[in-house]
Amino acid sequence: MGWFDSVEHNRWLSTQMQALIAEAEGAIVPTGFAHLTEEGEPDPERGIDLAVTGRMLYVFSLGVLMGLPGTRRYADHALKSIGTYFKDPVNGGLWISIKPEPDEDGHGIPWDEEGRSKSQYHNAYVILGLAAATVANRQGAYELLNDALHDQERHWIEPNGLVRDQYDEAFTQALPLRTLGTLLHTAEAYLAAAEATTDPVWIDRAEQMAAFANKIASEKSSRLPEYYDDEWKPLGEEPAGYVDGRRIYHGYVTGHAMQWSRIMLQLRAALRSLGRPQPDYLMECAVDLFERARVDGWRRNNGEPGFSTSVDCEGSPVTGEDEHQQWVVCEGICATVAIRRAMLDDGATPGEIEHFEHCYRSFLDYVNDYLILKPGRWLRSLDANNKRYATLKCSPWDVYHSIQTTLAVRVPLWPPYASALSRDLLDKPKEAPSDKKSWNSFFRRH
């Protein structure tokens, strides 16, 4: 019996998942969820981040759907924070960073001038979280989700179907830069929103984004440039002007390639659920992106296990960006699970999926052997030789990746995680039956 069929393996995954959710509870502050100190306490020197709070809404909503006691309070706190404290009362939209305490009137206060900006990268996590909260029947989530999606149409979606990346506070000027990371997180959020709203237009929009990623991958040997100008042409120099705290990469990001691989296969399964044709590129590009990232990134530093974070145009690790980050190997696990599942749903034989099962075991062994300090406490990053950094900022930032890693093998490719949990598809990863696959209504609290 392989890991994929093992009850004990699923129990191990469930133990890790529940501990991660419990650990994330420590990030709560009055206006949202904070970055953490090395001791696991809210970090007073860092603002309360919208993306972190959106991710926490997502994680705790999944907890609600799995029946984990205590998670409702944390999901509802994240929901209130997004709907109250992060909201810009003058210009609309959401600030990206606020102070941990509200003002005397109960309103949020931007952390600094940069915190007043608007960021699609952050919005994507808010939509993902609101979609999960809607499925989990949290009060007010459906209304906030619809507001967020109207904001997408008003400010963020471009005529070509892709999305702008960053605005000033008043939405008067968009930053003339675009990123593939923002695009992939938006595509993931749109798939979740399609299910939560039963509106397949968001699947259509995610497909436009996937088609663009496929086009770029076909031109770049399945390596995806991260940065683009405002006409979506790859940028030849380091991007300038970002104020939302994201890291600037100087190579091709292996984790983003593998995340696109997963999203393309979830999109493929979504189209199948609608009875629509599934373009051939979705499977072909998903496998190519995964394999290119695996060959470029896995065990590239003296044979040490782990993925290099970014590589150059020849596939060599970029000096200074060759560390082994938790989120990257997590996306590698989710991608290899997605490919294996898609192949099985298409009728593949055990021999045809053996390679991907081996990848799964190897990647998960790395997480267990190097990253998990104890259940719920995973290291964010190790150096290229798997040594711990003397100082490393802590955050619940990566729990979104790690939670999905513990669930990926336990649910079908479609519907999305939250909807799969709501339809009793946990530990039933085969392609869902027609009555649970998609587009079922569920009761929402108003």
Are 432 and 412 in contact, with CB atoms under 8 Å apart? Answer: yes
* Token pair recorded at residue 126: 């808010």
Residue 436 lies in a domain: no
pLDDT score of 55 more than 70 = yes
Q: Across-strand partners of 310? A: 253
Residue 430 lies in a domain: no
* Token pair recorded at residue 82: 């997004």
Q: 265-283, pLDDT tens digit by residue?
A: 999 999 999 999 999 999 9
| Higher-scoring residue by pLDDT: 52, 446 | 52
* Token pair recorded at residue 358: 């081996």
Question: What is the pLDDT averaged over residues 422-429?
Answer: 96
Are 392 and 373 in contact, with CB atoms under 8 Å apart? Answer: no
The share of the chain scoring above pLDDT 70, in percent, equals: 95
Q: How confident is the model at residue 428 (pLDDT cuts 50, 70, 90)?
A: very high
Residue 1 lies in a domain: no
| Higher-scoring residue by pLDDT: 36, 32 | 32
Torsion sign over Cα 414, 420, 425, 427: positive
DSSP-derived letter for residue 154 is I
pLDDT score of 439 more than 60 = no
d(CA 308, CA 319) in angstroms, rounded, equals: 10
Question: What is the pLDDT averaged over residues 184-201?
Answer: 97
Q: What's the pTM value of the predicted model, to 2 decimals?
A: 0.96
The type of residue at 201 is V
Are 331 and 259 in contact, with CB atoms under 8 Å apart? Answer: yes
What is the count of structural domains for the chain?
A: 1
Torsion sign over Cα 41, 57, 328, 231: negative
Q: What is the pLDDT of residue 326?
A: 95
Q: How long is the chain?
A: 446
pLDDT score of 446 more than 60 = no
| Higher-scoring residue by pLDDT: 404, 433 | 404
Enclosing domain of residue 353 = 7-239+250-422
Helical ranges in 198-325 per DSSP H: 201-219, 254-273, 280-297
Indicate the average pLDDT of the chain: 94
Question: What is the pLDDT averaged over residues 222-233?
Answer: 97
Q: 339-349, pLDDT tens digit by residue?
A: 999 999 999 99
Q: Which residue has the tokens 């209304």?
A: 143
Are 336 and 364 in contact, with CB atoms under 8 Å apart? Answer: no
- Residue 48 CA, distance from chain mean position: 19
Residue 431 lies in a domain: no
Strands 310-311 and 252-253: antiparallel
Residue 131 lies in a domain: yes
pLDDT score of 426 more than 80 = yes
Are 252 and 394 in contact, with CB atoms under 8 Å apart? Answer: no
Q: 279-325, pLDDT tens digit by residue?
A: 999 999 999 999 999 999 999 998 999 999 999 999 999 999 999 99
Residue 23 lies in a domain: yes
Q: What is 39-102 written as a DSSP string? A: TSSB-TTS-EEHHHHHHHHHHHHHHHHTT-TTHHHHHHHHHHIIIIISB-TTT-SB-SEE-SS-
Residue 427 lies in a domain: no
The share of the chain scoring above pLDDT 90, in percent, equals: 87
Residue 370 belongs to domain with CATH number: 1.50.10.10
Q: What is the pLDDT of residue 436?
A: 67
Q: Across-strand partners of 318? A: none
